[in-house]
Structure 1
Amino acid sequence: MTRRDAVFPPDRHALYDAHQYSPAIRSGDLLFVSGQVGSRADGSPEPDFARQVKLAFDNLNAVLKAAGASFDDVIDVISFHTDPEKQFETVMGIRAQEIGEAPWPTWTALGVTWLAGFDFEIKVVARVPLAKM
């Protein structure tokens, strides 16, 4: 078995070490990005929901950039929400600013009861052409 090709952004967050996971794993031209949350550098949740969502996208974009990718390379998204009905409008507003023009990636949104103190998490799979790596 080949060793995992882990991708870390330059500003490594405390959560990666605390919970023992990699922000992303590259396999060929596919990039599997772990769920990104609106954590501050010390790993604590951003308390303001809109800022937490924006910070989750910022953290996601940092991981994508470290792999030589951008949101344009994302093909599949899964997002997790602790209160989807109340959070929907805020998430959709920030999402519209972050994901660019159509065609958009596939997207599955899930309501969950627990995200370790966070209220939003976003996980993606991207295709990063080997020429970009």
Structure 2
Amino acid sequence: MTQRDAVFPEGRHALYEEHGYSAAIRSNGFLFVSGQVGSLPDGSPEPDFEKQVELALLNLKATLAAAGLTFDDIIDVTTFHTDAPNQFETVLKVRDRVMATTPPHPAWTAIGTTWLSGFDFEIKVVARLRETA
């Protein structure tokens, strides 16, 4: 079996150890990032929705940075929402402020769900690793 090439951001939150998963895995030229949530350092949800989305995106940014990547390296995005019709405008506003990517934008699928372990927003991505000389 091939060893997984795990990536963790500095100051990783408690959820990785508590639930036994890696922030991201490098494989075959891609970085597969686990769902990132707006967690406080102890792993609990940020109660304010807008701040929760911002924290999720900042956690994503830190995970990408640990692999030497930025938001512009993302090729596929999946987001999960507990109340998409009422949350989507806020998500877009925060995304535009924090991610600020340029066209062409990554592919994006938004999924409504009823449960995110106490969170209201989650984002997972696949990014292309940069080629090294």
TM-score range, shorter chain: over 0.9
> Within 2, Cα distance between the matches of 1:113 and 1:130?
39
Cα displacement (A) at 1:99: 3.9
TM-score in terms of structure 2 length: 0.96
Secondary structure, aligned partner of 2:132? helix
* Match of residue 68 from structure 1: 68
Alignment-derived partner of residue 41 in structure 1: 41
Shift >2 Å, 4+ stretches: none
- Percent identity between matched residues is 64
Distance 1:120 1:87 in 2: 9
Q: What's 2:101 paired with?
A: 100
- Cα RMSD of the aligned pairs, angstroms, is 1.0
- What's the counterpart of residue 119 of structure 1? 120
* Distance of 2:28 and 2:118 partners within structure 1: 34
Provide the TM-score with structure 1 as the length reference.
Answer: 0.96
Aligned positions, number: 132
CA deviations over 1:19-45 (Å, ceiling 9, x no partner): 000000000320000000000110000
Aligned pair 1:6/2:24, yes or no?
no
Between 90-99 and 62-71, report the one with greater CA deviation: 90-99
Write the letter of the residue equivalent to 1:128. L
The Cα shift of 1:117 comes to: 0.3
SS state at 1:77 partner: strand
Please list every run of 5 or more consecutive structure 2 residues that lacks an aligned counterpart in the other structure: none
